[in-house]
Amino acid sequence: MATTKSLMAIVVAATLSVAACSGSGGGTSAAPVTAPNDPSLVTGQITVLTNRTDLEQDGTLAKYAAAFTKVYPKASVKFEAITDYEGEVKIRLNTSQYGDVLLIPNNIARKDYPSFFASLGSEADFSSKYRFVPNSTVNGKVYGVATFGNANGFVYNTAVWKQAGITSWPKTTAEFLADLKLIKDKTSATPYYTNYHDGWPLTQWQGAFGGVSCDPQANNALAQSTAPWAAGKELNTIDTLLYDTVKQGLVETDPTTTNWENSKTLLASGKVGTMLLGSWAISQMQKAATTAGKDPSTIGYMPFPSQTNGSFCSVSAPDYLEGVSSKSKNQPTARAWIDWFTDKSGYAASQGAISTAKDAPLPPTLAEFQKQGVKLVELDQAKATLVNTIDKGSEIGLTAPDYRQKIVDAARGTGGTLQAQFDDLNKKWATAQQSAS
């Protein structure tokens, strides 16, 4: 599909384990995979699995493959674009047929990376050059490199907000709701679009976690909390805003009939005002605007409506991590691809995304973030495994759509009260947290 669809683009709190993992494959004792320094020694064809079916269909991936072959004339790249990437690759990981290079599925717990992917080197070596290294590190070894990074916030149509008379970003959730009401009253646009039906866009709300508090230790604190949805807590703030947005009638008439692909055109053409998505979505909305004959410069991006010490904050996190299959029979060429794609392809810039390279500037799509001094926060990963264990034990699914769909259901009057939802979430989390401690 035409979206990166990756919550890990913006969420580092938890990931779920692959069902029925065999645990076979590589291990932490294997030597790191390296690429030959001599381009003539990089040979053979590799298969690269990707979720970007849109880039396959428009010929973009073929251009990357051709550019790679110019550098490594004895090597070639075959792309396999998969629509249901998470679902299909999850199954294929239990075989040996999952390509040479692939995007590491979000539903694999990090501790299991050595079972499926080859080590690329040490955390110390990678950290000097790249962002988001802790997200792919197990026991000091790196198993993936982020294709790019994302900030978290709301993509919005600036023309719609301007028509409603709004001239500055809302600083509080109350101001945000008031602004959406102005859009409803003064324009013909739907103020906010939930994308409830596709499900995964609702997981993007988890990306605000850590940004509301502007705290790099937010994820570690979550591991110790027995009531993360209590009044005043960050998840309470995030999910209450989602609930209130729906409850106050500021969304589409029937969330069960939403359509992701169509939503891009709706926002780009001014029929929808706002959606919470990672910054990866900006370039897709701009492309949709151009396709619809609209001005792509009307696509804006704002942080979650909350400030700490007078400043907005936004969590920056990796999108998909790209790794080398432990079953690949051509690991040196696979590694050469990852190095080239990360450092030389220009892919991050083409997506309007944060480059994985530390020395690269922020993309033009985040120019307003830079201008207004939005602080980018990377969540510490020290207790990510524990958070994952608690989340899995609670059966909540912080990175799954189900529980936030229930929040929307409650707001629509079909799923109990919001407080009942929070009480249930706190109970499940506390039980799992005590068991995991």
What's the pLDDT tens digit per position in 273-330?
999 999 999 999 999 999 999 999 999 999 999 999 999 999 999 999 999 999 999 9
The pLDDT score that the predictor gives to residue 115 is 96
Same domain, 334 and 414: no
Same domain, 182 and 91: no
Range of the domain at 432: 152-315+363-437
The pLDDT score that the predictor gives to residue 28 is 43
Same domain, 274 and 350: no
Same domain, 230 and 215: yes
Same domain, 15 and 102: yes
Same domain, 190 and 254: yes
Of the given ranges (23-27, 251-255, 354-358), which has the lowest mean pLDDT?
23-27
What are the backbone angles phi and psi of residue 312, rounded to the nearest 5°? -75, 150
In 174-316, at which residue ranges do the beta strands (DSSP E only) sit?
190-192, 272-278, 299-302, 307-308, 311-315
Among residues 304, 335, 360, the one where a domain terminates is: 360
For residue 190, what are the β-bridge partners? 272
Starting at the edge strand that comes first in sequence, how are the strands of the sheet with 141-142 ordered? 121-122, 141-142, 137-138
Q: What is the mean pLDDT of residues 209-233?
A: 96
Same domain, 88 and 201: no
The pLDDT score that the predictor gives to residue 26 is 40
pLDDT digits (tens, 9 = 90+) for 180-201: 999 999 999 999 999 999 999 9
The CA distance from 434 to 432, in Å, is 5
The pLDDT score that the predictor gives to residue 15 is 35
The CA distance from 233 to 181, in Å, is 25
Q: What is the mean pLDDT of residues 81-93?
A: 93
Residue 431 has pLDDT above 70, yes or no: yes
- We report the CATH number of the domain holding residue 20 as 3.40.190.10
The pLDDT score that the predictor gives to residue 8 is 40
Q: Is residue 24 part of a domain?
A: yes
Q: Is residue 177 part of a domain?
A: yes
Same domain, 129 and 24: yes
Same domain, 138 and 211: no
Of the given ranges (234-238, 263-267, 379-383), which has the lowest mean pLDDT?
379-383
Q: What is the mean pLDDT of residues 149-172?
A: 97
Same domain, 260 and 335: no
pLDDT digits (tens, 9 = 90+) for 330-345: 999 999 999 999 999 9
> How many independent structural domains does the chain possess?
2
Query: What share of the chain has pLDDT > 70, as a percent?
Result: 93
For residue 121, what are the β-bridge partners? 142
Return the DSSP state at 255: G
The pLDDT score that the predictor gives to residue 106 is 84
Q: Is residue 1 part of a domain?
A: no
Q: For residue 310, give the 3-state DSSP assignment.
A: coil
The pLDDT score that the predictor gives to residue 109 is 84
Residue 365 has pLDDT above 80, yes or no: yes
Q: Is residue 33 part of a domain?
A: yes
pLDDT digits (tens, 9 = 90+) for 119-152: 999 999 999 999 999 999 999 999 999 999 999 9
Among residues 330, 360, 390, the one where a domain terminates is: 360
Q: What is the mean pLDDT of residues 25-48?
A: 85
Q: Is residue 118 part of a domain?
A: yes
Of the given ranges (37-41, 86-90, 230-234), which has the lowest mean pLDDT?
86-90
Q: Closest by alpha carbon to 147, among 354, 330, 385, 290?
A: 354
Residue 17 has pLDDT above 60, yes or no: no
Q: What is the CB neighbour count within 10 angstroms for residue 1?
A: 17
Q: Is residue 110 part of a domain?
A: yes
How would residue 14 be classed by pLDDT, with cut points 50, 70 and 90? very low
The pLDDT score that the predictor gives to residue 362 is 87
What does the mean pLDDT of the chain come to?
92
Q: Closest by alpha carbon to 367, among 281, 270, 282, 277?
A: 282
Q: Following DSSP, what letter does each residue of 333-386 receive, concatenated?
A: HHHHHHHHHHHTS-HHHHTT-B-SBTTSPPPGGGHHHHHTTPEEEPPP-TTHHH
- Reported as type and span, the H/E element at residue 38 is none
Among residues 360, 393, 417, the one where a domain terminates is: 360
The pLDDT score that the predictor gives to residue 332 is 98
Same domain, 307 and 401: yes
Q: Is residue 2 part of a domain?
A: no
Same domain, 122 and 240: no
The pLDDT score that the predictor gives to residue 23 is 34
Q: Is residue 287 part of a domain?
A: yes
Q: What is the mean pLDDT of residues 70-92?
A: 95
What are the backbone angles phi and psi of residue 277, rounded to the nearest 5°? -150, 160
